[in-house]
Amino acid sequence: MTERTLSGIGVTPLSGVGTVVWYRPDADLPEPPAAEDVDAEAELARFEDARAAAEDELEAERERTAERVGEEEAAVFDAHVQFLNDPQITDGVTDAIEGGLPAEHAVQETFSEFVEQFENMGGRMGERADDLRDVRDRLVRVLSDGERVDLSSLPEGSVVVAERLTPSDTAQLDPERVAGFVTVTGGRTSHAAIFARSLALPAIVGVGEELQSVEDGAEVVVDGESGDFVVDPSDERKEAAAAAADVDIRHESVETADGVEIEIAANIGTLADLGPAVDRGADGVGLFRTEFLFLDRESPPDEDEQYEAYVEALESFDGGRVVVRTLDIGGDKPVPYLDLPDEENPFLGERGIRRSLGPDADLFETQVRALLRAAASADGANLSVMLPLVSTVEELRAGRERFESIAADLDAEGVENELPEFGIMVETPAAAFMADQFAPHVDFFSIGTNDLAQYVMAAERGNERVSDLGDYRQPAVLRAIDATVSATEGEDCWVGMCGEMAGDPDLTELLVGLGLDELSMSAVTVPQVKAAVAETDTADARELAERVLQADTKAEVAEILTLDQ
């Protein structure tokens, strides 16, 4: 048969070859009985029993996911429990039951209304519709005594094809058996895409309804980098995909073709992420998102627990740098035991350093004490610490003064400590504009391109309706990056990048040309970026950067980058 190619959004720089296994979990409920034949009291009791059973399942699933995939990904199940107990939803189900519907039909009807509402919102809120579907389907299955499809024991070489994959679905996938997955819906920031990167699975999302024409059992190639889903591939295509899947892991540091060393690090959320980072050849940690140490618990971790976590990260890399970001609470990272404000736009509100210097000052002090002690440990010379969401010189100075003051307190207590390498995240336009004023006060900058693109372009990064605006290839974003790097000229200040842009191998040459010293990313892309660095000549890279910075539109940037490859 002649091969044909369907196009979607590639979400991992990996390729896989396998056989299609369609996953269609949705089962239609039979017509409900007449309202007068429904025992409302009995149905309400069934609903409450189902809720309790579903919550038990979610807690167990959260624990398995945290252990197998990571704490950051597992946190999605906390949101599922919140939906399960949301008064608006439970009241809606109760009203529907009292109106004469059996419990499963009441759940289906009520949740479907909320799913539609969330989908119409678009962006991050639109993506929450999948969470609602997940909770709905779980409740209906429990109420109907249905059996869950076991995605963890698929035949080896399976390529899972589905309308969509919920977090519960994706968390089941076994990378040892599954060669990849492809979905009709979804975007780069969907839960399925995030899980794919964490599991190092080839994946394509957002292919569209044309995907429905692919039959069960078809032989396919999943190119998670280009987004090409090839049905009935030629032998040459399969061989190329298999060769691409055989990734060369480079554990030593990497230099450009002309001898310039570029540090390639991994972003981590919890200690469970350290092993995959080491296995994929990361030189160290470029972003330790410490807020994930504070989630899924009744109270914050104490000083000793944090100290041990930071030391474990340092010990995982032989002389590699570990960059720890202090608490970035707020925005889309709520913490149940903190009194966070109910803000209309939390991304522009009280988050990051604004909370650390304000209402979370005690938490910040405990964290800094742990970090200062870790800096004095056997591997502590490799510790770097950075402050999130800094926008003013006053915030920078106040943050640095807190480190120095707490170090003095520890000295007075006779506690061994050291001041670590000190830096800030550059993720606001203010930080990029003021980088020349910040540079004399720091040892490094780390550019967070996810937030920087969002704030520079005034385009919420999870909103698919403005995803083109929020792309980090927009000229304004690239010029903000260039301004940040240029501000360090003549200063003893290195510049790294820890946003998603850093993990795109197609942009590695450009980032080297812009003058980045370090790139940090999801561990899955480390080998590809290291390979791209090794092939880069810095003179050519600088010339490419100069051309890109002259571009007026994203389309011009894309054209220049395409011609260069």
| Catalytic annotation, residues | 191, 498
204 forms bridges with which residues in the sheet? 10, 182
What is the Cα–Cα distance from 209 to 53, expressed in whole angstroms? 35
Q: Give the torsion through C-alpha atoms of 326, 331, 335, 338, to 10 deg.
A: 90
What is the Cα–Cα distance from 230 to 218, expressed in whole angstroms? 10
Q: Among 383, 375, 334, which Cα is nearest to 355's?
A: 334
What is the Cα–Cα distance from 163 to 186, expressed in whole angstroms? 9
- 8 Å CB contact between 254 and 530: yes
Phi and psi, residue 330, nearest 5°? 110, -175
- 8 Å CB contact between 490 and 516: no
Helix (H) or strand (E) run with residue 180 in it: strand 178-183
Helix (H) or strand (E) run with residue 266 in it: strand 261-268
- Phi-psi bin for 330: left (phi > 0), alpha (psi -120 to 50), beta? left
255 forms bridges with which residues in the sheet? 261
Q: Among 504, 503, 565, which Cα is nearest to 535's?
A: 565
Phi and psi, residue 422, nearest 5°? -120, 130
Three-state DSSP class for residue 442 = coil
| Residue 336: other Cβ atoms inside 10 A | 13
**Helix ranges, 259-302 (H):** 274-279
Non-local CB neighbours of 294 within 8 Å, separated by 6+ positions:
300, 301, 327, 329, 335, 363
HSE, CB side, 13 Å, CA atoms: give it for residue 330.
Answer: 25
Q: Do the strands 203-205 and 15-23 form a parallel or antiparallel pair, or are they unpaired?
A: unpaired
- 8 Å CB contact between 181 and 42: no
Non-local CB neighbours of 143 within 8 Å, separated by 6+ positions:
46, 47, 50, 103, 104, 107
